[in-house]
Amino acid sequence: MNAPLLVIETIRKQFGARTVLDIGGLVLHPGHSYALTGDNGAGKTTLLRVIAGLEPAQLARALYCGLALDLCTYPQWLRREVIYVHQHPYLFHTSVKDNIGFGLKARGTPRRERERLVHEAVRWARLEHLLGSPAHRLSAGEKQRVALARARVLRPRLFLLDEPTANLDAESRLQAVALIRDLCDSDGVALIACHDQQIIQLPGMCRLHLQAGRIERSGGPLPARDPSDRSRFGGEAAPAPAETLRWQAVAND
């Protein structure tokens, strides 16, 4: 198996007296996508925010590509590697094109290269017909596709998606799921908090289930581990049943 992209040994998070997360370990491997499931309030969003450096937590140790790091201080270089997409993504009051290119502009990407990358992202997300549209006039499904394109154009290695298909109609959900299916290459990872069976059943999707603050996989809890034992830490689950999704063009979703 390829070396893990991210390893976190012990994640504990409390809100007052309530323990939200008490996870013995988490390992994410390149080339894999993970559906993070659980009841409302199980801690799915909190876990994503901890990994994104937006929420402090008690962590025994964290490794990214084998490099030890502190997620609470969150090094600047890691912000280029990890992208968090909120359930209700905020879009600037500018055009779709400017929204997608915002991160590239902030990073100082030269204009010609920025335009090339934005054009590729727009084609990927099937947003050509909306290129000059103001973001505030988009539907919920269109906004989600813009958010996914804005994340992908930055070429992170770790995508953190929080309920990306929540509150979308059926056709918009299919379009978003089709993009999520093609979001990562063999070098990347997607960790997706969701209840959506169409995401959970995507080919090769691994399922992580949060229950009472702990992660369960393949119907049972993850076993206790010796942190030095890399061979058992985060063994992969069997792929979920395959489900073929086809792009359905929608004039206005």
User: Per the domain annotation, does 17 fall within a domain?
Assistant: yes
Residue with tokens 């058992």: 232
Q: What is the pLDDT of residues 128-166, one digit of tens each?
A: 999 888 988 999 999 999 999 999 999 999 999 999 999
Q: State the CATH number of the domain containing residue 174.
A: 3.40.50.300
- DSSP annotation of 3: P
**Tens-place pLDDT, residues 64-114:** 999 998 888 899 999 999 999 999 989 999 999 999 999 999 999 999 999
Give the pLDDT band of residue 246 (cuts 50, 70, 90): very low
**Looking at the domain assignment, is residue 161 inside a domain?**
yes
The boundaries of the domain holding residue 18 are 6-90+155-221
What average pLDDT does this structure show over 214-239? 44
- Evaluate whether residue 229 is within a structural domain: no
Please check whether residue 53 lies inside any domain of the structure: yes
Pairing label, strands 58-64, 18-23: unpaired
* Number of residues in the chain: 253
The dihedral built from the CA positions of residue 200, 205, 209 and 213, taken in this order, carries a sign that is negative
Q: What pLDDT does 233 receive?
A: 33
Label residue 241 exposed, middle or buried (CB < 10 Å: 0-12, 13-18, 19+): exposed
Q: Is residue 143 assigned to a domain?
A: no
Tell which residue, 237, 9, 251, 228, has the closest CA to residue 130: 251
pLDDT at 220 over 60: no
Please check whether residue 59 lies inside any domain of the structure. Answer: yes
* Residue 249 counted as domain residue: no
d(CA 139, CA 172): 9
Q: What tens digit of pLDDT does each residue of 105-130 get?
A: 999 999 999 999 999 999 999 999 99
- Tell me the average pLDDT of the chain: 85
Number of structural domains, the chain? 1
> Torsions phi, psi of 172, nearest 5?
-65, -35
For residues 123 and 86, what is the distance between their CA atoms, to the nearest angstrom? 22
CB–CB of 68/227 below 8 Å?
A: no
Q: Quick check: is 95 in a domain?
A: no
**So what's the pLDDT on residue 78?**
94
Cβ-contact 118, 152 below 8 angstroms: no
List the one residue out of 58, 87, 83, 84 whose CA is nearest residue 72.
Answer: 58
Tokens standing for residue 60:
């025994």
